[in-house]
Structure 1
Amino acid sequence: MSKSNRHNVSSGGAYESVFGYSRAVRLADDVHVSGTCAPAEHEHSDAYTQAKAVLDVIEKALMEAGASMEDVVRTVVYLRDIDDAEGVAKAHLERFDAVRPASTLIQVTSMLRPWQRVEIEAYAKVS
């Protein structure tokens, strides 16, 4: 695939330039959204609220790549505390109830910031 078919999406996050990554990348009909955590204004929010904010960032990246939440075929959810699974699942269900993407839930020991409770990756196929 030629570079001209690649579209990188930036959310302007500070770590994009530090780590050298894009918020999302579209190649042909495939859109890959990087692992996404809630913005800093959600530092004191619970996991449900953080997950909703994460999904908002993912939706914006998908839109910039010419896709939508309805195009998502897979998500990967990382939790620092498995006890947050119920709240994060509620946010995920609210956004994907009609779509029902394949999904994996993984507990991790830490995240970049100690207040971050959830990180979500998404993969979409534009039809």
Structure 2
Amino acid sequence: MTTNLSADRRNISSGGAYESVFGYSRAVRAGTDVHVSGTCAPAGHEQSDAYTQTRAALAIIEKALADAGAGLEQVVRTVVYVRDISDADAVARGHVESFDAVRPASTLVQVTSMLKPWHKVEIEAYAKLDPQ
């Protein structure tokens, strides 16, 4: 299969196990836009609460943004998925600790399941860089 990617597109990999299985990138930078894939807490967080899983997912997102030349301060939108809506306050606490002054547009949605049964939260992020 031949893929023609534009010159201003860069795929960022975190080395996660599912990137090659599903054929996706942790993040994609295309020009001044950075799109970070849905991100959950990694293995080792099986017993963690929703707040801790949120902070772990956001740390992975922050690393992906940095690898793309961006930071949390450039995030303009997040989409947050939770398995249990009663975790919304804990997830919100983790979110506001990362984005307090940034205050990106955000959506919170309850879903019935996630990839792993212990995942409580998954977060997508979209950042906009200043033109060079």
TM-score (norm 2): 0.94
| Cα offsets for 1:64-100 (capped at 9, x unmatched) | 0000000000000000000100000000000000100
- Does 2:24 align with 1:13? no
Tell me the residue number matched to 2:66: 63
- Does 2:53 align with 1:50? yes
Cα offset, 1:3, TM superposition: 1.9
CA RMSD, aligned part only? 1.1
Percent identity of equivalent pairs: 72
More off after superposition, 3-12 vs 16-25: 3-12
Letter in 1 for 2:107: T
Tell me the residue number matched to 1:30: 33
Tell me the residue number matched to 1:122: 125
Alpha-carbon separation, structure 2, partners of 1:74 and 1:4: 25
Cα offset, 1:126, TM superposition: 0.6
| Cα offsets for 1:49-71 (capped at 9, x unmatched) | 00000000000000000000000
Structure 2 unmatched runs, 5+: none
Alpha-carbon separation, structure 2, partners of 1:36 and 1:120: 5
Structure 1 unmatched runs, 5+: none
Tell me the residue number matched to 2:111: 108
| Cα offsets for 1:89-113 (capped at 9, x unmatched) | 0000000001000000000000000
Which of residues 100, 120, 131 in structure 2 aligns to 1:97? 100
Q: Post-superposition, which runs of at least 4 consecutive aligned residues in structure 1 deviate over 3 A?
A: none
Number of aligned residues: 127
TM-score (norm 1): 0.98
Which of residues 33, 39, 44 in structure 2 aligns to 1:41? 44
